[in-house]
A and B are shown apart, each in its own frame.
Chain A
Amino acid sequence: MTALLDIRDLRLGFRTLAGQIDVLHGIDLAIRAGEQVALVGESGSGKSVTARIILGLLQETRSARVSGRVGFDGRDVMMMSPKERAALRGIEMSMIFQDPTSSLNPTFTIERQFAEVMRRPDRKLTRAACRERAARMLDEVSIPDTGRVLDAYPFQLSGGMNQRVMIAMALANNPKLLLADEPGTALDVSVQAQTLDLMRDLVTRHGTSVLFISHNMGVVREFADRIYVIYRGRIVEEGPTPAVFADPGHAYTRALLKAVPRITGRGLPDVPEVSDDFFDPMVRHGGTS
């Protein structure tokens, strides 16, 4: 079975005043149709930039140098023109950004932002139809009081409400691939569980593939079929979720799992920040890709 997303040898560097900063050192990552894949790892290791490259956003940043192959649905995003990439975004693939208030436009109401998204594939959608569909989407992410929220500006909503709005918007056009960058961080645990269940329902029903970026290992365990672990711009481990949790093969993955705080309360874990074996070669669990 061919992959919907097939990334090969992806490299990224930034040109800065202080010289070149290399961020991604040759990443391979694939997602099959309907598969939910998690990308976990160190803060600053390159998760968000990977998502931005898949969306074709970083290719348009002047200071960024990107190379490699980003296969999506049989085409290479790297070879597309900016216009072709723009035509994919929000329709074939969409993203839930890490920072909700910065990706929602502060000067427009939520209703207006929904309308903009929903009119991209269908310019003729009426205002009433947009509002009705937006209300239904908000309802599906368990936002109460959908009328108030549609008329609100982002600053009038709590952090978590904005995040649910973004999830609803990202799914509004039924994309083939959803890139979810820490979609639950501003949500309380009950809403988070609910929202992720809902997201999982929606994506299973529509066969949407998901690249799920998260620091919450408990959530990853519940949500993902397969996991990639990234450390300093290199994938260090890959495998089915149960295998990685039961038998983490790479030193970095082991340290990461050990550092997860537990409600059983054993205090703050005492684990090394960096260790030589974090740079060991990648570990692959069998039976995949």
Chain B
Amino acid sequence: MKDPDHRSEARLYLAGFGLALTLTLIPFALVHWALLQGRTLAITIAVLAIAQIVVHLRFFLHIDLSRQKREDLQLILFTVMLLAIMALGTLWIMGNLATRM
């Protein structure tokens, strides 16, 4: 790795790796040592997972907020919106049906 650009980009990957690893370690630790319970635990896991997904997107998939090309970001956000409608809708409907059986 002679190229300084190369080295700095590699360092970014390592930073992403470190962050992602931390965000993995925490929830596993929380569950393994039963540090949190119930709802709090569920919410914490969800928040950490979303944070880790953002880290992956930023450091490995290079999706960022730079102004140059937004098509990628728009595509992802649009997908997330449709998926949220479909998946949350499914949970809502099926959950409601389950309570009424």
Q: Do A and B come from one complex?
A: no
Interface of B toward A, CB cutoff 8 Å: none
Interface of A toward B, CB cutoff 8 Å: none
